[in-house]
Chain A
């Protein structure tokens, strides 16, 4: 295990009725990172997070948090971990403040943490209202406050912006981004929204059908968004033959020739060559893959998220 990894799993697998919900996942979350765990609904995100918290047992594989095995050092690990899994948890007949008091007593946290958590999620004015009267967004904020209350070293958030309005999403996003710097937290958050992860995370893991398809920094994912030159000519077959003789590797696709990443001089040379051979050049286009294209490519094109 790497020295600074807060979370590390090896071949983590969870099987239900012979189906791998999570399949040999090797997750590595470094200290101080905001790790975006991205994948379509039903990809295995929540199952993985639940295994990290000991709520469900892995079928195979091992997991270590803070360098310790969860099965052996469960209290040590969970004392340093705050979480919000699936829908927010709350006692509906109690007020927001009373709900936080429960966590405070469970975590042996000081009173000032309660005030701070309420302030952070902006629920100070609603703290004396019964939580069953809260809106979904307020419940989500309360769930976040409960997860934050002990200011843990590791914060695990499952779809933290669910149920929030756009302004609330923005606020929570800024809050999460500030946590490593302000409180020294490491954040592992799951989402099915690429745009959300793109704006928050420093590191990303993409999971689909239980398989971890990509893991790396956000920048390394962006680097996958390479550009490609496509041509449309009056005689694509002739152009293809000609370019093959010149050492290019064109691929016909949807009435266009895809030539991969070329520099400006090469594009100009190809244009000159085709025109000289009397092949009319109709369009020269530069196409770059967006992160969404990469995500869809990794998780299966055309699939609804």
Chain B
């Protein structure tokens, strides 16, 4: 806990909170405008599923980029001031420092996703959606997005700490965003290899095309792909941790 507290202490004045807020505000505005237009065109779309699906697909674009930026901000300060070397020369193990950074970055992003779920609820209520807020679906949406974020940040932290030049990590985040946004177009076999596509895959709602139009369909919780996302997160975290803690400084 001491080390985690230290990570929060170190990111003061980094304005990471404001950045997350602005980033998600843009995403939500975009989503809410899109859903509002969709409802205006087709009143059948005034269902919670439309908001959940649109946000999940938007997260495929925004969250990989936001995760890359947040993780980069948390890790880059150690490169800029040569402080990773200083920390490694203390009696604190590098594995614990690595874990503290991971928890710090993910906690910030989790609060962002939590805020997102709350604003979705508010938006649904304002738009007079047909039913009461679907708490179960919202919880599953939050769990899926969080699990996918865990996997994405595990990869991003590995890159951000192992490679000093953060352009590399940020480019990977942008590439992830591109893949996350277009993942619905890939065949399932390809999609499941690309971790950024799990924002959509672990969403409780999907969209099925039928002739000229489409419908929002609830999809059951897929334990297999949830486990896959968890394993990807674990693999990237373990590989990154082993690499960075053994890296010569």
Contacts and interface: CB of A to CB of B under 8 A. Distances in A.
Interface of A: 50, 53-57, 74-79, 81, 83, 85-94, 98, 101-103, 105-107, 131, 146
Given A56-B249, A102-B9, A105-B6, A78 B89 contact: yes
Interface of B: 2, 5-6, 9-10, 12-14, 77, 80-83, 85-93, 248-249
Contact of A107 (B5, B10, B88, B90): B90
A91 B10 contact: yes
B80 A92 contact: yes
B93 A90 contact: no
Given A57-B248, A106-B6, A90 B81 contact: yes
Contacts of B12: 93-94, 98
Given A94-B10, A94-B13, A75 B81 contact: no
A91 B81 contact: yes
B9 A85 contact: no
A97 B86 CA distance: 16
Contacts of A91: 10, 77, 81, 83
A146 B82 contact: no
A55 B88 contact: yes
B9 A101 contact: yes
B159 to A, nearest CB: 21
A106 B10 contact: no
A136 to B, nearest CB: 13
A76 B81 CA distance: 26
Contacts of B90: 78, 103, 106-107
Contacts of B81: 89-92, 131
A146 B126 CA distance: 54
A79 B91 contact: yes
B77 A93 contact: yes
Nearest to B84: A89
Contacts of A86: 82, 85
Contacts of A55: 85, 88-89, 248-249
Nearest to A108: B2
A87 B249 contact: no
Given A102-B10, A107-B90, A89 B85 contact: yes
> Interface centre among A56, A94, A98, by most B CB within 10 Å?
A94
A83 B89 contact: yes
A78 B77 CA distance: 23
Nearest to B86: A89
B9 A75 contact: no
Contacts of B248: 50, 55-57
A55 B249 CA distance: 5
Given A56-B249, A86-B85, 10 more contacts: A75-B91, A76-B91, A78-B89, A85-B85, A89-B86, A92-B80, A94-B13, A101-B9, A102-B6, A131-B81
Contacts of B80: 92
16 contacts: A55-B89, A75-B93, A85-B89, A88-B82, A89-B81, A89-B83, A90-B81, A91-B10, A92-B80, A93-B77, A101-B9, A105-B2, A106-B6, A106-B87, A106-B92, A107-B90
Given A87-B82, A93-B14, A102-B6, A53 B91 contact: no
Nearest to A79: B91
> Interface centre among B5, B6, B77, B82, by most A CB within 10 Å?
B82
Nearest to B248: A56
